[in-house]
């Protein structure tokens, strides 16, 4: 049995489904059903969050192995089983998912007025898929969760999204599906050749050098779309702009991390030689992503689109960190992923606050908001600074580590990453100045109310996290340390074997 | 005597004759009781199939094994649910005549004979016994020009296909000297047995059967017939006869022509590639949902044939699992299509589903489940169907098939998603009439199967494995 004494990860994964089932069976007047659905969803997600804190407390940070493991036979003769577990790489993402979901539900409290019941059901199903994906230790189970995320997200964007929601939903779905099916073929190849899809067992299997290249590109097709890397990032701005606020938060906070997580979990350990061989390609794509999307972000008129492009840039830094394959780069990448999950999620919530009041995301529609919404301006400033990577906030630690790690590989890559931070400061401050400062020329803005208690409740935990991660990052880094060290060590062992073989 | 082995077919035939007499005699219309009697006899036949021993009978014309058991249960299930689906629709459309379920019953006997055929002659016999009732029920709505056209088109092209099949059989007989599958297999196992004439014969046989499974390039009849025939008939066409024809194709190619796999594999590969591609692209522009489902079924046959193209036990297992899942989700989908009525009139445009998510959430959710499943999105059953055929293709190194397969599945995802979009994203186009209980039951049953297949896939896989092993012998 695992450290919790009961199947904790399965409970975290499937408890939201139970909540969704309860919501579905509520009948009655629409207003009653809506209120019921909101509260049930909130309590379910809070319960899941509090249960997930057991992971935080009981996780043994000194061990690199998988913990809280659960195994059930599913198709034993095929070598496929239901296997759950977390290690230092995945555990914090489970926590990130469970922490963001209640905040999202709270953020949609008043923003979602139609079909509330269906919305909450979709969100809880989404939570199941996210948690399951990070906890899955079987490749087929992973793929099931990885793909199943598309269904609730498609509905969330398409039903509750903005004016071009249909286009955005289709683009999101088909883009990611196209990438994933190629990965499916690679999974099938591994399955057939290794005789198992159990991830720890797959780690023992050495993929033939010739096959590594193909598998690497098949994985890349899937993960690059999810991250998203340049040039397959174009679905992201559309999806972000059209999705409802909470959808954007989950998209930026958790779904983008799925691709990077895939690289860490599968590409690096399974394909060590191909990862080294094609790391320069990744670096080039990432640096282009960082610089290009930062410049694009500078020119945006739409707040959400700007933050969406900034996400692509930040994720570029993450992919640089992953493919440095050294301790600093990997820890930095993981930390940036977490920090970005918190900060960009919070930024989308900030935009959502204004959108709920004015129903416009147009930057020029605002100006001088600081005078009427001072608390909001404070919160927004904090997250702007965090996004820029001001020391003392979350992003700084991660990006700094990535740049240190990249410097060891190639100073130019580090320079590219650093350039992203400079440009990041430019577009975020420019956004902040145009929205918050300046003269209050739009008369209707005078009527805006400052943050409501509900909004304070949404932002407070995020502020706390963003500052905590910036000021005292060690508890978070402790989680990664052992697993990252083991990953680097495994990688070096594999590389030395292949070097010997090559002599 | 070994004729007792064919007890399921015999019992069903006798039951059919008895029901026919019993249906004619009363003065008033006997549609409902006859339907119930037909469903009852089908269930009885299913029980008999379950208890059927293995062996060959009737002078080597008939074979019973795990494979025939698996496929017959699928075909019988499809037929029984097909009759169930027609109950409400036929009554409302004035097609409630007792011949209707009876013809389906006779067609089912044909399917069972096909599945158990161990000789080119019993194969042809079964195929014709299946086809003739189908021609009639395609044109069952005789006052509708479209239905009559569907029946006639199906008949003319079907007769042509039967001719091709017969011609191919005669070539094979001429060059091999026998029509029995076992002896054909013996004849071809020696290297000298393969002549150009035999290969041409096989190609004709494949062409005749490809017509029945509506695989490219013999698919032209499918959209017109699917659109023109009454919807329950379309539902029936898309499920049971397809299973029987696929089973027959698998048995003929793997059994007697098993040693010639190198000759027919490329044909099946091309047919599979063509079907997947056409099924993916041609459905995109369809506005009539029955027509759309016709192209969708062409695509699905392409995926199923991928398993046959691989021609080993893993491929056959994939094929069987695929067909089982396909039948289940297809019947559910058609239950929704049959329920599409507005103010008492049947409607069949994709736009008629607009806003179903608001007016009838239950039906819309089931339909969405079927559509996502057909698109192959996990964790729904359709994904696992695709998974096992892709696994077989990857294992055997059929990379072209596998890559084209996954890419066309993304293309086809577009039109399945479009239906979801119409139901959930668009504004309501006026409520549909509430679905009758018989349809809701079918929807819920196949919907639950599609949703929860992921939890217990092992029994179906084990059955498919045993069936595939039996076929490879």
Residue B1 binned pLDDT confidence (cut-offs 50, 70, 90): low
Q: What is the ipTM of this complex?
A: 0.90
Separation in Å, CA B463 to CA A243, A433, B256, B329: 44, 67, 23, 19
Which of these, A398, A455, A381, A386, lies nearest to A424 by C-alpha position?
Answer: A386
Instruction: Give the E-state strand segments of A156-222 in sequence order.
Output: none
Token reading at A39: 């509260």
Q: Is B417–A154 a contact, with Cβ atoms under 8 angstroms apart?
A: yes
Residue B119 has pLDDT above 70, yes or no: yes
Cα B394 versus chain centre, distance: 25
> d(Cα B247, Cα B323) in Å, to the nearest integer?
9
CB-nearest partner of B377 from A148, A158, A170: A148
> What pLDDT shows up at residue B110?
93
Q: Is A191–B383 a contact, with Cβ atoms under 8 angstroms apart?
A: no
Q: Is B357–A158 a contact, with Cβ atoms under 8 angstroms apart?
A: no
- Cβ pair A330, A484 in contact under 8 A: yes
> What pLDDT shows up at residue B18?
94
**Residues on chain B touching A189 (C-beta within 8 angstroms):** 394
**Residues on chain B touching A115 (C-beta within 8 angstroms):** 357-358
Q: Is A182–B406 a contact, with Cβ atoms under 8 angstroms apart?
A: yes
Residue B210 has pLDDT above 70, yes or no: yes
β B341-342/B345-346 pair status: antiparallel
> d(Cα A176, Cα B240) in Å, to the nearest integer?
34
Ranges of chain A with pLDDT below 50 = 1
- Mutation target among B354, B405, B410 for the A interface, most CBs of A within 10 A: B410
Question: Using one digit for the tens of pLDDT, what is the confidence trace for B64-91?
Answer: 999 999 999 999 999 999 999 999 888 8
> d(Cα A434, Cα A436) in Å, to the nearest integer?
6
Judged by DSSP in three states, A132 sits in helix
- Cβ pair B71, B115 in contact under 8 A: yes
Which of these, A289, A268, A243, A298, lies nearest to A119 by C-alpha position?
Answer: A243
Tally Cβ neighbours within 10 Å of residue B343.
9
> d(Cα B248, Cα B270) in Å, to the nearest integer?
19
CB-nearest partner of A155 from B409, B413, B424: B424
Q: What average pLDDT does this structure show over B288-314?
A: 91
* CA–CA min distance A501, chain B (Å): 27
Omega before B93 cis (within 30°)?
no
The residues on B that touch A, with CB distances below 8 Å, are: 357-358, 361, 372, 377-379, 383, 387, 390-391, 394-395, 402-403, 406-407, 409-410, 413-414, 417, 420-421, 424-425, 454, 457-458, 461
**Residues on chain A touching B358 (C-beta within 8 angstroms):** 115
> d(Cα B274, Cα B283) in Å, to the nearest integer?
14
Separation in Å, CA A147 to CA A98, A141, B205, B414, B457: 19, 10, 40, 15, 19
- Cβ pair B270, B398 in contact under 8 A: no
Judged by DSSP in three states, A233 sits in coil
> What pLDDT shows up at residue B83?
93
Which DSSP symbol is given to A65?
A: S
CB-nearest partner of A75 from B410, B425, B461: B461
Token reading at B387: 């998974």
Give percent of chain A with pLDDT exceeding 70: 99
Task: Tally the residues of chain A.
Answer: 503
Please tell me if residue A82 touches chain B, with a CB cutoff of 8 Å.
no
* CA–CA min distance B426, chain A (Å): 9
CB-nearest partner of B421 from A75, A144, A166: A166
For chain B, helix (H) and strand (E) counts, in that order, are 19, 4
- Cβ pair B438, B90 in contact under 8 A: no
CB-nearest partner of B417 from A170, A185, A188: A170
Please tell me if residue A217 touches chain B, with a CB cutoff of 8 Å.
no
Token reading at B341: 């009525």
* CA–CA min distance B356, chain A (Å): 13
CB-nearest partner of A158 from B387, B421, B457: B421
Classify burial at B177, counting beta carbons within 10 Å of its beta carbon; exposed 0-12, middle 13-18, buried 19 or more.
exposed
Identify the residue with better confidence: B75 or B191: B75
Phi/psi at B424 (5° precision)? -105, -30
**Residues on chain B touching A159 (C-beta within 8 angstroms):** 357, 424-425
Q: Say what the pTM is.
A: 0.92
**Residues on chain A touching B454 (C-beta within 8 angstroms):** 144
Omega before B191 cis (within 30°)?
no
CB-nearest partner of B391 from A74, A158, A191: A191
- Mutation target among B379, B444, B448, B468 for the A interface, most CBs of A within 10 A: B379
Computed over every residue of chain B, the mean pLDDT equals 90
- Mutation target among A181, A187, A210 for the B interface, most CBs of B within 10 A: A181
E strand or H helix at B139, and its extent?
A: none
- Cβ pair A273, A494 in contact under 8 A: yes
Q: Which residues does residue B345 pair with via DSSP β-bridges, in sequence order? A: B342
Please tell me if residue A50 touches chain B, with a CB cutoff of 8 Å.
no
> d(Cα B84, Cα B439) in Å, to the nearest integer?
8
Judged by DSSP in three states, B429 sits in coil
Q: Which residues does residue A71 pair with via DSSP β-bridges, in sequence order? A: A83
Q: Is B424–A189 a contact, with Cβ atoms under 8 angstroms apart?
A: no
Judged by DSSP in three states, A138 sits in strand
CB contacts < 8 A, A to B, total 80
Tokens 């919530």 found at: A349
Which of these, B162, B163, B181, lies nearest to B172 by C-alpha position?
Answer: B181
Which DSSP symbol is given to A437?
A: S
Question: Using one digit for the tens of pLDDT, what is the confidence trace for B93-107?
Answer: 888 888 899 999 999
Which of these, A67, A39, A50, lies nearest to A15 by C-alpha position?
Answer: A50
> d(Cα A259, Cα A290) in Å, to the nearest integer?
17
- Cβ pair B220, B157 in contact under 8 A: yes
> d(Cα A376, Cα A452) in Å, to the nearest integer?
10
* CA–CA min distance A304, chain B (Å): 22
Handedness of CA A399, A405, A409, A412 (dihedral sign): positive
Please tell me if residue A25 touches chain B, with a CB cutoff of 8 Å.
no
Please tell me if residue A182 touches chain B, with a CB cutoff of 8 Å.
yes
Q: What average pLDDT does this structure show over B362-379?
A: 91
């Amino acid at each position: 049995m695992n450290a919790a004494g009961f199947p904790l990860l399965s409970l975290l994964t499937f408890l939201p489904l139970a909540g969704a089932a309860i919501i579905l069976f509520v009948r009655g007047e629409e207003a009653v059903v809506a209120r019921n659905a909101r509260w049930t969803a909130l309590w379910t997600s809070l319960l899941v969050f509090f249960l997930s804190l057991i992971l935080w407390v009981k996780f043994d940070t000194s061990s690199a192995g998988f913990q809280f493991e659960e195994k059930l036979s599913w198709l034993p003769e095929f070598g496929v089983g239901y296997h759950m577990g977390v290690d230092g790489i995945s555990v914090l993402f489970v926590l990130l998912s469970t922490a963001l979901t209640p905040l999202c539900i709270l953020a949609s409290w008043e923003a979602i007025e139609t079909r509330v019941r269906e919305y909450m059901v979709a969100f809880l199903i989404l939570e199941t898929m996210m948690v399951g994906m990070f906890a899955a230790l079987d490749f087929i189970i992973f793929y099931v969760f990885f793909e199943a995320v598309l269904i609730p997200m498609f509905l969330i964007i398409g039903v509750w999204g903005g004016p071009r929601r249909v286009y955005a939903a289709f683009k999101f779905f088909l883009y990611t599906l196209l990438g994933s099916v190629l990965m499916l073929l690679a999974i099938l190849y591994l399955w057939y050749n290794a005789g198992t899809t159990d991830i720890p067992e797959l780690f023992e299997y050495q993929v033939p050098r010739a096959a590594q290249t193909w598998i690497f590109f098949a994985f890349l097709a899937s993960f690059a779309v999810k991250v998203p890397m340049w040039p397959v990032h174009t679905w992201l701005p559309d999806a972000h702009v059209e999705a409802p606020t909470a959808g954007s938060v989950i998209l930026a906070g958790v779904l983008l991390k799925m691709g990077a997580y895939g690289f860490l979990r599968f590409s690096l350990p399974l394909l060590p030689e191909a990862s080294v061989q094609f790391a320069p390609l990744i670096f080039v794509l990432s640096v282009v992503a960082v610089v290009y999307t930062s410049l694009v972000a500078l020119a945006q008129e739409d707040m959400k689109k700007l933050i969406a492009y900034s996400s692509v840039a930040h994720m570029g830094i993450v992919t640089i960190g992953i493919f440095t394959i050294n301790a600093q780069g990997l820890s930095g990448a993981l930390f940036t992923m977490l920090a970005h999950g918190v900060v960009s999620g919070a930024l989308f919530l900030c935009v959502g606050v204004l959108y709920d009041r004015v129903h416009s995301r147009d930057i020029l529609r605002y100006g001088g908001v600081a005078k009427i919404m001072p608390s909001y301006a404070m919160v927004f400033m904090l997250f702007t600074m965090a996004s820029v990577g001001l020391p003392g906030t979350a992003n700084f630690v991660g990006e700094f580590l990535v740049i240190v790690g990249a410097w060891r590989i190639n100073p130019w890559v580090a320079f590219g990453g650093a350039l992203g931070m400079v440009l990041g400061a430019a577009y975020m401050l420019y956004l902040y100045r145009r929205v918050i400062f300046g003269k209050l020329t739009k008369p209707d803005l005078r009527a805006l109310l400052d943050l409501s208690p509900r909004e304070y409740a949404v932002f407070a935990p995020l502020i706390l996290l963003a500052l905590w991660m910036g000021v005292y990052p060690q508890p978070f880094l402790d989680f990664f340390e052992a697993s990252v060290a083991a990953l680097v060590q495994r990688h070096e062992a594999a590389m030395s074997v292949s070097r010997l073989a090559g002599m | 005597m070994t004729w007792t082995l064919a007890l399921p077919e015999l019992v069903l035939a006798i039951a059919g004759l008895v029901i026919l007499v019993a249906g004619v005699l009363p003065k008033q219309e006997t549609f409902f009781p006859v339907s119930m009697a037909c469903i009852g006899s089908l269930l009885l036949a299913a029980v008999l199939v379950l208890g059927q021993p293995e062996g060959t009978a009737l002078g080597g014309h008939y074979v019973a094994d795990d494979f025939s058991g698996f496929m017959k249960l699928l075909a019988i299930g499809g037929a029984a649910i097909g009759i169930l689906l027609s109950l409400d629709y036929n009554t409302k459309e004035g097609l409630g005549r007792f011949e209707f379920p009876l013809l389906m019953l006779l067609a089912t006997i044909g399917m069972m004979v096909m599945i158990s055929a161990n000789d080119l002659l019993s194969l042809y016999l079964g195929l014709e016994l299946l086809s003739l009732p189908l021609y009639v029920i395609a044109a069952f709505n005789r006052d509708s020009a479209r239905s009559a056209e569907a029946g006639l088109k199906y008949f003319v092209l079907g007769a042509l296909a039967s001719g091709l099949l017969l011609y191919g059989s005669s070539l094979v007989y001429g060059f091999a000297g026998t029509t029995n599958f076992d002896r054909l297999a013996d004849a071809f196992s020696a290297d000298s047995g393969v002549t150009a004439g035999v290969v041409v014969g096989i190609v004709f046989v494949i062409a005749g059967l490809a017509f029945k499974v509506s695989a490219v390039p013999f698919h032209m009849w499918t959209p017109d017939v699917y659109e023109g025939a009454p919807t329950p008939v379309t539902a029936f066409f898309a499920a049971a006869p397809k299973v029987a024809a696929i089973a027959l194709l698998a048995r003929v190619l793997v059994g007697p022509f098993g040693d010639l796999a190198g000759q027919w594999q490329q044909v099946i590969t091309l047919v599979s590639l063509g079907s997947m591609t056409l099924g993916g692209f041609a459905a995109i522009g369809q506005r009539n949902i029955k027509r759309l489902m016709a192209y969708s079924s062409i695509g699905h046959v392409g995926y199923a044939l991928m398993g046959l193209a691989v021609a080993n036990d893993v491929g056959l297992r994939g094929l069987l699992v695929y067909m089982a899942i396909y039948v289940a989700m297809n019947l559910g989908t058609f239950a929704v299509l049959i329920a599409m009525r507005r103010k008492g009139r049947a409607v069949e445009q994709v736009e008629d589903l607009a806003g179903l998510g608001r007016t009838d959430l239950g039906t819309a959710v089931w339909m969405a489940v079927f559509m996502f499943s057909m698109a192959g999105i996990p964790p729904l059953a359709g994904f696992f169907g695709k998974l096992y055929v892709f696994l077989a293709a990857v294992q055997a190194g059929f990379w072209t098939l596998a890559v084209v397969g996954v890419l066309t599945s993304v293309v086809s995802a577009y039109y399945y998603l479009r239906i979801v979009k119409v139901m959930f994203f668009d504004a309501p186009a006026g409520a549909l009439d509430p679905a009758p209980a018989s349809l809701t039951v079918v929807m819920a049953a196949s919907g639950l199967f599609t949703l929860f297949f992921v939890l217990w896939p092992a029994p179906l896989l084990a059955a498919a494995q045993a069936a595939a092993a039996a076929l490879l012998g």
